[in-house]
Amino acid sequence: MNKDNSKDANQFHGLIDPDPISVFLAILGTVGSIASIAAYVEYQLDQHARVREQEEKTRRELADLFMALEVEHIELMGLLKGLEVILLQGTDHTIALNELRFEFGGCRPLFTYQGYRKYDEILLTINRKCRKLIELTSQILQRLYYYPLRLERKVFDRLIRFRDKLNEALHRSMSYEEAFRVYEEILYCGQLLSRDLRGALRQT
């Protein structure tokens, strides 16, 4: 091995090389759970009204849960933007996200130890947010089993289009730069849907 090759081989000694695509898959699967609400709405279109007092209690609980769901989407979007900054500025080399394929092995950031600690911190925070979204959606679905939430056709159609958008993101070929924009849009749509569903409670 000549001296130049030896120098190149030692250039990244001690750096950490994670694969961040798993973050995006976790977000897609987590946020996608909101689309399952549509199935419950369809099921309850033909159900009889429940006891009014219990309905009112459940309605208030649902309003709080949809509000929390909206907030979690906003905060998760901020974390995703933070991840983009870390990938661009926290590595030991220049990353052109528009040139990196959004696939396993498509992005190989080389972090210093301190840079990786920041990356790991935001990764863990994103995972906690995903877990919180799953918990909130589970609580919502349990209450929708007993509460006959009726949606205007336009809101229900937005739920269906949101589900289609998730499927498109799952199969779409894109770069990491595109992926950040697509997933930010998904989170924004999830935020607006949470608000629409909370608004629908006032009409039931």
Answering whether pTM is above 0.95, one says no
Mean pLDDT (the chain, rounded): 87
The answer to which of 79-83, 112-116, 131-135 has the lowest mean pLDDT is: 112-116
Return the ∠ at Cα 125 (arms to 190 and 194), rounded to 5°: 15
- Whole-number pLDDT of residue 2: 54
What is the per-residue pLDDT across 10-36, written as a single tens digit (0 to 9) for each? Answer: 565 678 888 888 898 888 888 877 777
Q: What are phi and psi of 14, to 5 degrees?
A: 85, 5
- Whole-number pLDDT of residue 50: 47
Q: Which residues 6+ apart lie within 8 Å of 137 measured at CB?
A: 33, 34, 36, 37, 69
Q: Is 105 helix (H, G, I), strand (E, B) or coil?
A: coil
Does residue 167 contact residue 59 with C-beta atoms inside 8 Å? no
Domain coordinates in residue numbering, the chain:
19-201
Q: Is 99 helix (H, G, I), strand (E, B) or coil?
A: helix
Express as a percent the part of the chain with pLDDT over 90: 57
Q: Which residues 6+ apart lie within 8 Å of 107 measured at CB?
A: 19, 20, 21, 87, 95, 97, 100, 176
